[in-house]
Structure 1
Amino acid sequence: MNKIYLTIAALFVIAAMACQPPKMDAYEKNLEIPGHEWAYSHTPSFEVTLKPEDTAYLYNIYVNVRHTDAYAFSNIWVLVSTQFPGDSAIQQRVELPLADVSGKWLGSGIDDIYEHRIPIQQKAILNKAGTYRFSFQQNMRQNPLPDVLNVGLRIEKAGQRP
């Protein structure tokens, strides 16, 4: 009989822990590029909401790119727009290397599809609770940019802030 009460108590504790809202350890979302041709006018955007306890950490921020083997360039330039909660957006032009100098793709590949997770900021400080908005616009000379399948954002904890 005592074991039954212990089992019920253990299940109650596990159920109570499962109801707690998760903290933001990592965020990742990828969006499909319409027609697999990335036009200037298509700006995939991502919203990440941080709770007050999440602001005590540093974060690594990545851009995910998925393309076919037919992609004609060794890199892709993007305009990265970041809007902090309550602030206006800031924009920077970032080069995302996709191949080495010999033309070998840097990402992982299956068949003729290649995936890249490219760091754009290490140990970033996201010190405001609220919703952050990130958007990406391709900034190459060719428009639309063919053979780009997906673009995405990954944010992961990199340790506590000093």
Structure 2
Amino acid sequence: MTRLFPIVLLSVLFLSGCGHIDLYERTATLKGRVWRSSEKPTFRFDIKDTTVPYQLYVLFRHTAAYNFNNVWVSLSTTFPDGTSSKVQYELPLATNEKGWLGTGMSDVYEHRVALTPLGREFLFRKAGTYTFTLEQIMRENPLEGVLNVGLRVEKKRGG
């Protein structure tokens, strides 16, 4: 057993050297299991390293009562220099063939939907505080069955 420990330790260290580092993850809980278009959760975090790529995700948690295969969101970004931008995204949540695409337990489903296409890199160009605001822009308002929405930022490591 003692001979096995160094091998296991080195394997864990090697495997942790690849992939992503969690940098930021926050969610906002929505009252009454509904997301009104007037509710715009805001997420702030600091970026120090502008030389490495990042991956951005929207987190979306809902019940089986959610009636759509997707959700349209608007993501507003305020940069450290005070400038801002706004981008709309369609986030796929289900298909007719597979059902819900996220992970689920009982009647609750969680999705982590990448905003940066697979294989593409996102670089923060300036160090400082970034502010992201999520807004649902679906035709139906409010959206029933939504528990939480959030943002996740991962720093990509070489590997």
Q: What is the TM-score with the length of structure 2 in the denominator?
A: 0.80
Higher helix share: 1
Which residue identity is paired with 2:36? Answer: A
Superposition map of 1:12-161 within 5 A: 25-51=22-48, 54-102=49-97, 104-121=99-116, 122-159=120-157
1:91-134 superposed Cα distances (whole Å, 9 cap, x missing partner): 11100000013360000001000000000124211021110011
Letter in 1 for 2:24: Y
Give me the whole-angstrom Cα distance separating, in 2, the residues matched to 1:143 and 1:99: 20
* 1:78 CA displacement: 0.3
Q: 4+ runs of 1 displaced by more than 2 Å?
A: none
Contact 1:74 1:103 in 2 (8 A): no
Which 5+ residue runs of structure 1 have no aligned equivalent? 1-23
Please, what is the CA RMSD of the aligned residues?
1.5
CA deviation vs aligned residue, 1:39-58 (integer Å, no higher than 9, x gap): 1110001001112xx11211
Deviations 1:59-109 (A, max 9, x none): 000000000011000000001111111132211110000001336000000
* Higher-Rg member (1/2): 1
CA distance in 1, matches of 2:40, 2:57: 16
Contact 1:68/1:147 (<8 A) preserved: yes
The SS at the match of 2:81 is coil
Q: Percent identity?
A: 46
SS at match of 2:32: helix
How far 1:157 sits from its partner (Å)? 1.0
Q: Is the 8 A contact 1:85 1:129 kept in 2?
A: yes
Contact 1:37 1:146 in 2 (8 A): yes
Query: Number of matched residues?
Result: 135
SS in structure 1 at match of 2:61: strand
